[in-house]
Amino acid sequence: MVLAESYEHHVAVLPSPGMGHIVPLLELSKRLVVHHGFHVSFLNITTEASPAQTDLLHSPSLPLGLHVIDLPPADVSSLVNEEMLVLHRLGVIVEESLRCLKSVLIQLGKPKALIIDLFCTQGFDVGKQLSIPVYTFFTPSAAFCAFTLYHPTMDREVEGEFIDLLEPVQVPGCFPVRTEDLLDQIRNRKNDEYRYYFGHVRRLCEAAGIFLNSWEDLEPVPLKAIRENPFYQKISTPPVYPMGPLIKEHEPLTKIDVECLAWLDEQPPDSVLFIVLGSGGTLSSQQLTEFAWGLELSQQRFIWVVRKPTDATASGTFFNVGGDVNDPRAYLPEGFVERTRGVGLVVPSWASQVAFLRHPSTGGFLSHCGWNSSLESITYGVPMIAWPLYAEQRMNATMLAEEVGVAVKPVKGNGKTVIDREEIERVVRLLMEGEQGKAMRSKAKKLQESATNALNTGGSSCDPLSRVAKQWKDLPAPM
């Protein structure tokens, strides 16, 4: 392990596993190095790390001054199994992997600050022991941050299950949250996943500050609420710093990526629907079949990054993203690939999302509405079809559709377990050729401009990071 005692301005960054956490914290680290002259020790939890995570963090393109520290893998073989829910399993991995955190930070020369994500709150304890200020990078939306800050009050005041509430959750100063949109992790307060989740989120106010991957024009209502509503002042909410959109700007292109981009070059502007359900998302066998038929019936151009279906869980590839590549013909409807040749492309398992979203021929994005993907879509001015799968994605989908105005949500028919092909055809046509789709595309383009302005010098996201960076530089050297 390389010591960092010789670096005048040194901070450590600690994400939990999962690309939705790794990517924004890595982008923040790059900005601290490139724009603010910091040395960053990026602490990588290697236990059960996905191939995509490993490849990203060991890329030769990382800037000088950003040093990835691989934490020793922990033996969790007797503690986790394939039947565990994602967050419970993640919690065990993080807990076991961070037993070495204190000694690692000492070896690194005690950095001036430690930045953690929501599921690494063990960092608060170590920070107190070493007199290192600890900040939380809250990777979801500002709206979800407001909900999370309110969650301990809900836990204390609500009897029974949140999902059984007769009215939407009234988050102070924010838009109400419908019970059907509540994230999976809080739907059953009796299981281990809730215990792990709540154990982390209840500590959010212990942070010296909360970094948000958002910007003023995108989420003015929740940002104002967190800053000004008396409830958040009463619970001693730390200062919040919107710093977004922090998204992956570049990634290596595969041979298939290059071929798809060449095909995109030949298509009209805004004419292609890009379809990918995040780094860990999968569909059931029945839903995959309905989706394929609906897409074919729509007769719209598309690029579909498709994965083998699983009926077990919608987060089927969370711990294996980038590792499983297979032949889509084995599970897509017979003849689908042949019938749609020339209209669309089918890509197995993985693609360079940013490269496709920024291409001028991409006119729509069917997304799981993970916050990273949502920000990438908005940053490149692409409206969405919202197809949430797990975690807080239903809340994101509703916000993007009803409050921001850049997405449309398919409707599942009464009593149906899947979204049928006719509804899929309807929303694809609506987005790609309807007046509502044009209005959403116009709104997305305006937000694209504001996102750029937010990150520029003097922008609403540039200034908060500059202020915090100055505070860190003014701190005395660790003892």
Measured CA angle at 162 (ends 156, 166), to 5 deg:
115
Percent of the chain clearing pLDDT 90 (strictly above)? 80
pLDDT attached to residue 252: 83
**Residue 108 CA to chain centroid, in angstroms?**
29
CA-wise closest residue to 211 among 138, 116, 118: 138
**75-116 per-position pLDDT tens digit:** 998 998 888 888 889 889 999 999 999 999 999 999 999 999
pLDDT attached to residue 8: 82
**261-280 per-position pLDDT tens digit:** 999 999 999 999 999 998 66
> Annotated active-site positions, please?
21, 117
> Which residue carries 């990203």 as its tokens?
56
- Containing 305, the helix (H) or strand (E) segment is strand 301-306
DSSP character for 282? -
The half-sphere exposure of 216 on its side-chain side, counting CA atoms within 13 A, is: 13
CA-wise closest residue to 168 among 185, 149, 181: 181
Domains and CATH numbers, the chain: 10-244+461-474 (3.40.50.2000), 255-451 (3.40.50.2000)
**Residue 323 CA to chain centroid, in angstroms?**
19
- What pTM was estimated for this model as a whole? 0.93
Residue 189 pLDDT grade (very low, low, confident, very high; cuts 50, 70, 90) = very high
Cα 284 to Cα 281, 310, 418: the distances in Å are 10, 5, 9
Residue pair 154/170 in contact (Cβ under 8 Å)? The answer is: no
Helix/strand/coil percent split, the chain, to 5: 45, 15, 40
pLDDT attached to residue 3: 46
Q: Is the pLDDT assigned to residue 321 strictly greater than 70? A: no
Across residues 184-199, what is the average pLDDT? Answer: 92
DSSP character for 169? B
CA-wise closest residue to 237 among 245, 225, 246, 220: 225
Percent of the chain clearing pLDDT 70 (strictly above)? 95
pLDDT attached to residue 350: 82
Q: Is the pLDDT assigned to residue 292 strictly greater than 70? A: yes
**391-423 per-position pLDDT tens digit:** 899 999 999 999 999 999 999 988 889 999 999
Region label for 256, one of left (φ > 0), alpha (ψ between -120 and 50) or beta (otherwise): alpha
